[in-house]
């Protein structure tokens, strides 16, 4: 399925539905704080599984008790697309399971 870059308005509308996510240049980003390094590592594994399922891979960073994502679509020149928001919504579903804030 082809994806197209979203307009600035479309990006802003979708970000309004995803508290904690923001636009940083040509990517949507979010960081999560977890209760332990183990919980953060477990969340990374689950996010990686979702990325494989969607065949859409973000920059995913594991810190001591943090998980950070930076998402954009390489196939359209690094712009933000609906696919990025689909991934963000799935990650938001995972976050409470891991105790992320």
pLDDT of residue 3: 86
The DSSP code for 74 is G
Burial letters 59-70, b for 16+ CB under 10 A, else e: ebebeebebebb
pLDDT of residue 2: 64
Spatial neighbors of 87 by CB under 8 A, at least 6 apart, are 50, 51, 54, 56, 58, 71
Encoded tokens for 36: 């332990």
Instruction: From first to last of the 101 residues of the chain, give the pLDDT tens digit.
Output: 568 999 999 999 999 999 999 999 999 999 999 999 999 999 999 999 999 999 999 999 999 999 999 999 998 989 999 999 999 999 999 999 889 99
pLDDT of residue 31: 98
């Amino acid at each position: 399925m082809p994806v197209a870059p979203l307009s600035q308005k479309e990006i802003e509308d979708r970000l309004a539905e995803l508290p904690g996510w923001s636009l940083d240049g040509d990517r949507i980003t979010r960081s999560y704080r977890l209760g332990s390094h183990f919980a953060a590592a477990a969340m990374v594994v689950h996010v990686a599984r979702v990325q494989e399922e969607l065949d859409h891979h973000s920059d995913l960073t594991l810190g001591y008790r943090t998980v950070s994502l930076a998402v954009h679509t390489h196939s359209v020149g690094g712009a933000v697309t609906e696919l990025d928001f689909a991934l963000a919504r799935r990650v938001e579903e995972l976050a409470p399971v891991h105790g992320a804030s």
